[in-house]
Structure 1
């Protein structure tokens, strides 16, 4: 820490700076000066407040690389702003961000602080609590997003329980409103979505480019040492850390994707490999969710490649649909449902033990107006409640697909969206593991996970826990899909073509028993008619064998002791 403190110390504000400059609090998920309050006055008239909170980092066993990339970007952003003439009040605190800001404002006699509205609900509540205790702070619109709340409510109206939300309507509206990939009010290429062109398995048709790496500089090395010392008990590892931690590296990282990965991204978007874990995915989600990269900048860059013809329309549209469609759609839905707490099936959790400064029963602790924010929404439309097994913490299960993806998550804090959906979440869904436990696991295990993105994605699309609020059917499959879209099965002890008996892949038996177990809830779904017709044709003795194999698989997965954090 000495190197960073030595570098940032000369840029600390003097008494005159505290009075004469506009002071802006920089949330931990909004490191940008390309939009928002930092763009509204010269650097010589600007001061920023940054809080490095131990309490926040200890709230969950966040992946060590998530903490490194977040804290290192935080420190580098402070130095980048200082180099432009901005004064920096950088504060290390054992308290929450809100409590630390309140203390700083009172002790330094800071005038009113401006803050771009944080993306994460947890931080918004934390700051609101401090505001009730006297923190003088005003919130500016979060202009890092590609859409507004009004854009969402114009399409769907205010949130209403029992209403179904399909992303396609919102995506079409945003395409029309922004003019992205549009010509004469019609989609270029004659259709809004090219998803059907983005489902090819990868079989070495084209070489996979080697992504750039960014070895830790002195500041990042200090952060790694801090994480290993203070958060040694957390999930994951800091080994081989190579993510961008500066603005220039973030920009270069994005340019590499545009040139080398985008041309083949769409075609192999859904492919999975154990020898090419990233394939052609950008891996920019962590930088987007920190504010280092802005969604509309990326969308325009990709649209330009489509216009130039340097990348296929299917690749460009597929990437844009993820950002302008799905990412925006999910964050609006999280906001509209108060993190899914407004869903009819939500049952408040029992209070858990949290650091004392967040416990409403701790002596002298601040009171909360509502549930403490560490209690997440708990919908479970399919009644899933089994404990998430130790395999998600790296205890080998013998399922090559699962073990490969979990090993990647432990090492990188990342895997692409199909492995998240069709391996990790698919297995949890088929077995009936708790959607809330799976959500919490994703939240701390992934470098790009925050409440607004992980809760609607996992409780919604990934597990159908919301009962179809965001998806028209559960995203589940047997071994056939994994075998078709990956090379996992060829390296596994289980045979994807066998559904029962010795050596059979449990995904298939789990799939049929999942359908059987949830028939009363799902058989009326028009998109589930074909699998249910097939299920009904199976002989009673085969159904018994499928149930037996599925039960064996679940018992085996739950037989290992889960690590404690």
Structure 2
């Protein structure tokens, strides 16, 4: 097989085709022909423009497997569209996507381009700047989403500082509006959420099926070689890449998850294991966020399987809540708050300082005044905490871990210790294959660390060792005892938990969901409090002293 560049060149348009077709820009996260402008006319009347930008890839040290997943899907999508009869302009550029489009439009020349409204804020500001410089672009709604801005505003109204945004309100409204898992205006099963039923630890049964692996073809092997050579200092491992990179393989991965994983998803959704890292999670979030698998298709498939008795209602509802609820809710909140910049600017103005001017600089809310640097353990330096080291090793290897390990191990520890929410957000952004600004900033600055002061969560999602011990087997293989909170061999999570509450009592002490733990904290003796503080300080000091690897995150660039 010829190299990719030679294959895609065969679909390059003639001058007549440049002027006679509808040209659509396909960004780096919307590889679908099943909805949107590509689906609106025959392939024989369609042309697509794709830009492979090294500037974007260098903006952060994105996980090597994220780059392989994205670029290989991008290249395969271009070839798939060429095979359908579309004409393809696939442009390799050292510049940003928007700058490359402006250059192409001027040089070819290329008529007005259509694109769906970008999901990522970063791409939106790039495109806006290019339009101001003369790019002829028509924006149309992104129909891969399940809800509109109006849907969100109908529930919450326009963004207002100090207002709390609870996902459940939005999710219920979406269920009622769409009729998904509804019967005559009532939720099937008598309630909207079965979240309380997903808290079982996994004890080895039912058996977890082996997920399919997709061996790299020649196109993907070429991308792997490119990433290895061009981005050698980026985060993570590039070895053993086996994720879907074609539409056919993405469909097969979803079919497997639907049949073999979703029936057992709900009971063990929050479980964690060091010997079964995936459990019954689909691991398809990266493909969903690339547009390879459409949320509407997934929900329809799950609802149908539930109706036919192939998936229990609780599992179907739990999965749908993640897609129809959290995913949609978080992207709306990100857009309404300008990536939390409205919140951050409010804080900055109150403190008498100027808001950040760099449009790529992330918002820095920190309601709990957390500012310690993220320690080397997040880059793979062993900490001695088996849960942390296991999850970080998985992220380095795969660029993925499921949502409870993200929330209750990685983010929990960072929040308890007072590590910088912005640094943690940046780490998630480049470490995970499914991370984009609209999902990572709201989830980490909001739900995971409470940096937004309760905009998205009614309390911080923190716990001591008891939760990790209950929901996982991590503690069975750790040097620390989860049942001891102080002294030699004690697990630091518990001491960190109590000192976190003590340290933040002025902010959290009146939180209605924290009254029980604060009552317990206030009953502790002065001697025990001193011991807890000492154990927590030792843990934080130990983590802060771990030597950093030579690798350092790159400073975001605006090119």
Q: TM-score, normalised by structure 1?
A: 0.95
Q: 2:70 is matched with which residue?
A: 70
Distance 1:370 1:126, change over 3 A: farther
Contact 1:346 1:377 survives alignment (8 Å): no
Q: 1:237 deviation in Å?
A: 1.0
* Residue 287 (str. 1) matches residue 273 (str. 2): no
Q: 1:373 deviation in Å?
A: 3.1
- Select which of 373, 378, 388 maps to 1:387: 373
Contact 1:347 1:378 survives alignment (8 Å): no
Q: 1:358 is matched with which residue?
A: none
RMSD, matched Cα:
1.2
Q: Within 5 Å, which residues of 2 pair with 1:106-121?
A: 106-121=106-121
Q: 2:557 is matched with which residue?
A: none
Q: 1:539 is matched with which residue?
A: 525
* Residue 327 (str. 1) matches residue 357 (str. 2): no
Contact 1:378 1:436 survives alignment (8 Å): yes
- Secondary structure in structure 1 of the residue aligned to 2:24: strand
Q: 2:103 is matched with which residue?
A: 103
Q: 2:352 is matched with which residue?
A: none
Distance 2:506 2:242 in 1: 48
Q: 1:39 deviation in Å?
A: 1.1
Q: 1:562 deviation in Å?
A: 2.1
Q: 1:311 is matched with which residue?
A: 311
Distance 1:76 1:58 in 2: 22
- Select which of 386, 390, 394 maps to 1:400: 386
Distance 1:561 1:66 in 2: 26
Q: 1:244 is matched with which residue?
A: 244
Distance 1:319 1:425 in 2: 22
- Select which of 521, 535, 540 maps to 1:549: 535
Contact 1:61 1:234 survives alignment (8 Å): yes
Q: Within 5 Å, which residues of 2 pair with 1:202-213?
A: 202-213=202-213
**CA offset digits 1:128-177 (Å, max 9, x no partner):** 11111111111110000010100000001111110011111100000011
- Select which of 372, 375, 388 maps to 2:358: 372
Distance 1:411 1:398 in 2: 19
Distance 1:370 1:23 in 2: 36
- Secondary structure in structure 2 of the residue aligned to 1:48: strand
- Select which of 486, 490, 493 maps to 1:500: 486
Q: 1:371 deviation in Å?
A: 3.3
Q: 1:5 is matched with which residue?
A: 5
Q: 1:169 is matched with which residue?
A: 169
Distance 1:184 1:166 in 2: 25
Distance 2:432 2:356 in 1: 28
Distance 1:309 1:251 in 2: 22
Q: 2:225 is matched with which residue?
A: 225
Distance 1:207 1:165, change over 3 A: same
Contact 2:208 2:280 survives alignment (8 Å): yes
Q: 1:451 deviation in Å?
A: 0.1
Distance 1:371 1:76 in 2: 38
**CA offset digits 1:290-332 (Å, max 9, x no partner):** 0011111101111111111111111000000000011100000
**CA offset digits 1:231-290 (Å, max 9, x no partner):** 000000111101100001001100000100001000000000000000000111101100
Distance 1:334 1:121 in 2: 9
Q: 1:355 is matched with which residue?
A: none
**CA offset digits 1:325-382 (Å, max 9, x no partner):** 111000000000000001155549xxxxxxxxxxxxxxxxxxxx99333200000000
Distance 1:184 1:136 in 2: 47
**CA offset digits 1:7-47 (Å, max 9, x no partner):** 11111111111110111000001001101000111111111
Contact 2:383 2:546 survives alignment (8 Å): no
Distance 1:318 1:518 in 2: 32
Q: TM-score, normalised by structure 2?
A: 0.96
**CA offset digits 1:96-133 (Å, max 9, x no partner):** 00100010000101000001111111011111111111
**CA offset digits 1:394-443 (Å, max 9, x no partner):** 00000000000000000000000000000000000000000000000000
Distance 2:548 2:454 in 1: 31
Q: 1:364 is matched with which residue?
A: none
**CA offset digits 1:432-467 (Å, max 9, x no partner):** 000000000000000000000000000000000000
Contact 2:339 2:441 survives alignment (8 Å): yes
Q: 1:560 deviation in Å?
A: 1.6
Aligned length: 545
Q: 1:458 is matched with which residue?
A: 444
Contact 1:49 1:90 survives alignment (8 Å): yes
**Unaligned stretches of 5+ residues in structure 2:** 350-354, 554-559
Q: 2:556 is matched with which residue?
A: none
Contact 1:346 1:378 survives alignment (8 Å): no
* Residue 148 (str. 1) matches residue 148 (str. 2): yes
Distance 2:204 2:294 in 1: 32
- Secondary structure in structure 2 of the residue aligned to 1:11: coil
Q: 1:363 is matched with which residue?
A: none
Contact 1:430 1:510 survives alignment (8 Å): yes
Distance 1:282 1:521 in 2: 37
**Unaligned stretches of 5+ residues in structure 1:** 349-368
Q: 1:2 deviation in Å?
A: 5.8
* Residue 490 (str. 1) matches residue 476 (str. 2): yes
Distance 1:287 1:521 in 2: 39
Q: 1:561 deviation in Å?
A: 2.4
- Secondary structure in structure 2 of the residue aligned to 1:138: strand
Distance 1:147 1:43 in 2: 27
Q: 1:205 deviation in Å?
A: 2.0
Contact 2:379 2:392 survives alignment (8 Å): yes
Contact 1:340 1:346 survives alignment (8 Å): no
